A = this chain, B = another copy of it.
Amino acid sequence: MATHPEPDEPDLGVLSSLLLFAFQDELFTKLAERGFDDVRPRHGAVLAYLAPRGIRATHLALRSGQHKQIIGTLVDELETLGYLERRPDPTDRRAKLVCPTERGLAQMSAAREIITALESRHAERLGDTKYRQFKQLFTDVAIHQRQWATLD
């Protein structure tokens, strides 16, 4: 990869995008192999934060950092594909709860398996203790960096 004599140490942004795209590549390829070939990385903004008991679109927007309009179209697509459905929120008649269907739950389960296997590879290579340490530091850095941004 480093073809230049002076291998500049990659910064946090380069590392993040590298890891994100490679992660998505493996995840969605393997999801497709398992029959979930109609979801794309874009849908991850919803699927990654979906809760079995349902979650509000606004909450999804906050968690994923996407605009609520984008969440709306993603939910539209995933609803058409049969992964989830909208139900009225009993506690707020403005809101609707985004709930996974049977297929949605199956996808979540498959995704979790794939991700667990993926992370286990790294954990085995680095050692369990080191990997756990890494994830803890990663979480800390991500959360603190996020505080810089002003999300609506």
Contact = CB atoms under 8 A, between A and B. Distances in A.
Interface residues of A, number: 62
A122 interface: yes
Interface string A1-43: 1111100011111111111111111110000000000000000
A151 to B, nearest CB: 9
A125 B50 CA distance: 32
Interface string A114-131: 010011011001100011
Contacts of A102: none
Interface of A: 1-5, 9-27, 44, 47-51, 59, 63-65, 108-109, 111-112, 115, 118-119, 121-122, 125-126, 130-131, 133-135, 137-146, 148-149
